[in-house]
Structure 1
Amino acid sequence: MSKDQIKSIIERVVRDEGLFETGVSGVQLFRVATPMPCVPAVYEPSVVAIVSGAKEAVLDGERHVYDSERYMCCSMSMPAEAGTPEASPEAPLLGVSISLDTRVMTELAIEMENAGGGLRTPKGGAVPQGVALAHWDAEFSDALLRLVQLVEQPDDAAVLGAGRLRELYYAVLKGEAGDGARRAFGVGNEIARTIEFLSTRLDETVTIDDLASEVGMSRAVFHRKFKQATTMSPIQFVKSMRLNSAAMKIAAGTSVTEAAMDVGYASSSQFSREFKRAYGQSPKRWGQNAVVPAGVA
């Protein structure tokens, strides 16, 4: 029932293709009616809930599909490929995108860990991956409906928006994606912190030793935990983040040389070689053929 109500609200207020601001910071509704193959993207910490249609994501070569049965929770910045190959005017992709506020998520995760019981973050063991798909449960569905309803209640949104967003965050932390999210935002969030550190320094030379020392780990331990969290080695991750970020910039109109410099490549020829190896075409050809995504993770 909650899902149907959310869909009805989106259909009423989002008439055109693209993103629609709800009046609550970080919360957007979207409609995508144009099919698009998977293209390079960088997922930022967010939750994406689909109420109609399906979206594809490719992470380290593995294909994932999320739709009205499972929402996507990304708890740390991740290089990926994303697309909407089945979207059409007759069957548009409809959903909600919610940015995860680091401060609020951290406060909630630590409060939940301190509360103990079944919500305590497991000690040791494998670190969950940075992107998880989780089934809609009653708490998530109800919290999302209450949040989305504010789009038609602007006066209430100004007063209640932050509280309902916090309620949605809490439902995510308690749900199937909660283990990974609590590790990313709560105690023991070393890998998420190094990715945040890296994401703001793509134009600088950052070594594995730099990242490991940032969180007080040995190189070997850091490498193992990083791969558990992202499925990639730190070197693979850094290269993917840089190339995906550059591809997005080029698709948006940035020159190849400027995009290469923005993500830390001193040599445009090296950038072109690595770009073609990753995407099968030169950066220049990519810029000519690229379709700019609708902006939905």
Structure 2
Amino acid sequence: MSQNQLQELAGLVDKFSLGNGIHSTAIDGLNCIKLGEINDRLPSVYTPSLCVIVQGKKRALLHDEIYQYQPSEYLLASVDLPVIGQVIEASQDKPYLCLQIELDLHQLAELIVQTGFSVNNNLTSQRGIFVGNMDAALNDGVLRLVRLLEAPKDIPLLAPMIKREIYYRLLNGQYGQVIAQMTQSGSHMQRISAAIQILKADYNKPIKIEDLANQVGMSVSSFHSHFKAVTAMSPLQYQKRLRLMEARKIMLAETQDAAATAYRVGYESPSQFSREYARMFGLPPKRDVSLILSNPAIA
């Protein structure tokens, strides 16, 4: 991405970001993100989306893997993943600025059919998150999409067309085959994505791996193998991260104590909950929540 393009995008993202945080826009599925300082590690569930940094730097931690990206690079999540993100370059003068384009898998599937894109159905399962380079064609599409924010009357007609173009560029880019797997009924990626939705819906309930594998039409051994290939963790580790993230939200929003929260998110032992919480967030529940409430910028 040229310096002029980056400067223009940075100006537009800053203009349509009213303060720090994630801001929805007049274009469905396009969000502007701004942060004026380096932040602590923030756990969240990344949903299928394309994230393009236009100023600053960020890293995402998936289990024990680090994905760092900066201007002229993008991060794409192909399934829902519990990730710990951290902005590592930002200031009040030069805030972290990022665009998030939520991926519409139905539109992506339609485009694959309409363009005759050849999907490699023998592709082995790939990690559900990756960092790629912004090429000239993808840069151009993203810039034209964001420019529409200054021409609201053009959005209904042109935004869907430009988003389709962006999908097309992604399909024909370095990770095109991985992206295509997201849409293929019966693919390993699609089956693991379905299992993830079940885990999210029933995060606070006991799970049997045999039942989960059966629900998505896979053998237990195959399910374990492909789940870890996509998410970098086992189904039980995935569920644990969901529980801990939800517990933190509950304690911050409802000021509920750790023991009650532990039972609410599915733990049978408050002491085990506290140990695993401290391992993930760096502090025991009570101290972590108190610190955040006294300094909201941390979260």
- Normalising by the residue count of structure 2, what TM-score does the alignment of the two structures yield? 0.86
| Counterpart-to-counterpart distance in 2, 1:11 and 1:277 | 36
Tell me the CA shift for residue 269 of structure 1: 3.9
Letter of the aligned partner of 2:285 in structure 1? P
Greater shift in the superposed pair: 263-272 or 138-147: 263-272
Residues 177-210 of structure 1: CA deviation (Å, up to 9, x unaligned): 3322211222412112211222222133232112
Tell me the CA shift for residue 69 of structure 1: 2.4
**Kept in 2: contact 1:46–1:100 (CA 8 A):** yes
**Kept in 1: contact 2:46–2:80 (CA 8 A):** yes
Q: Structure 2 vs 1, CA of residues 171 and 152 (structure 1 numbering), >3 Å: closer, same or farther?
A: same
Residues 10-56 of structure 1: CA deviation (Å, up to 9, x unaligned): 24443532233320112111221021122322211111100111111
Letter of the aligned partner of 1:137 in structure 2? D
Identity between Structure 1 and Structure 2 (%): 31
Q: Which has the higher contact order (CA 8 A, sep 6+)?
A: 1
Matches within 5 A, 1:51-130: 51-111=54-114, 115-116=116-117, 120-130=118-128
| Counterpart-to-counterpart distance in 1, 2:91 and 2:265 | 34
**Kept in 2: contact 1:243–1:275 (CA 8 A):** yes
Q: How many residues are aligned here?
A: 290
| Structure 1 residue aligned with 2:222 | 221
| Structure 1 residue aligned with 2:136 | 138
Tell me the CA shift for residue 93 of structure 1: 0.7
Aligned mate of 1:154, from 152, 162, 187: 152
**Kept in 1: contact 2:148–2:154 (CA 8 A):** yes
Tell me the CA shift for residue 144 of structure 1: 0.8
| Structure 2 residue aligned with 1:244 | 245
SS at match of 1:37: coil
Q: Does 1:50 align with 2:53?
A: yes
| Structure 2 residue aligned with 1:183 | 181
CA-based RMSD of the aligned residues comes to 2.5
Tell me the CA shift for residue 213 of structure 1: 0.8
| Structure 2 residue aligned with 1:23 | 26
| Structure 1 residue aligned with 2:202 | 201
SS at match of 2:202: coil
Unaligned residue ranges in structure 1 (runs of 5+): none
Tell me the CA shift for residue 140 of structure 1: 1.4
- Normalising by the residue count of structure 1, what TM-score does the alignment of the two structures yield? 0.87
| Counterpart-to-counterpart distance in 1, 2:206 and 2:114 | 36
Aligned mate of 1:271, from 267, 270, 273: 273
Aligned mate of 2:165, from 167, 176, 182: 167
| Counterpart-to-counterpart distance in 2, 1:261 and 1:171 | 46
**Kept in 2: contact 1:133–1:177 (CA 8 A):** no
**Kept in 2: contact 1:26–1:99 (CA 8 A):** yes
Tell me the CA shift for residue 279 of structure 1: 3.0
| Counterpart-to-counterpart distance in 1, 2:298 and 2:289 | 16
Q: Structure 2 vs 1, CA of residues 24 and 292 (structure 1 numbering), >3 Å: closer, same or farther?
A: farther
Letter of the aligned partner of 1:38 in structure 2? R
| Counterpart-to-counterpart distance in 2, 1:150 and 1:20 | 16
